[in-house]
Amino acid sequence: MLSIVEFFKNLPRKKCHNCGKEILEKADCYGNLCDHCDHPAR
Ligand SMILES: [Zn+2]
């Protein structure tokens, strides 16, 4: 049996498609851009 922690550890890290940086602070799916690249003022 897997605990919830093990479940999340097995998830692949999302990476920004623009700069390749790992997206850590966004659990929601806003696409595949980090906060920096996804800035609306860009
Ligand atoms: Zn980025």
Q: For 3-13, how does the pLDDT look when each residue is reduced to its tens digit (9 = 90+)?
A: 888 877 777 77
Cα of 6 vs centre of ligand 1, distance in Å, is 27
Per-residue model confidence (pLDDT) at position 10: 78
Cα of 22 vs centre of ligand 1, distance in Å, is 8
- Mean pLDDT, range 6-28, rounded to an integer: 77
Say which residues have a Cβ less than 8 Å from residue 24's Cβ, sequence separation at least 6.
13
Say which residues have a Cβ less than 8 Å from residue 16's Cβ, sequence separation at least 6.
22, 23, 32, 33, 34, 36, 37
Per-residue model confidence (pLDDT) at position 19: 92
Contact 33, 15 (CB under 8 A): no
Cα of 36 vs centre of ligand 1, distance in Å, is 5
* Alpha-carbon span 11 to 36, nearest angstrom: 23
Cα of 24 vs centre of ligand 1, distance in Å, is 11
- pLDDT above 70 as % of the chain: 74
Cα of 39 vs centre of ligand 1, distance in Å, is 9
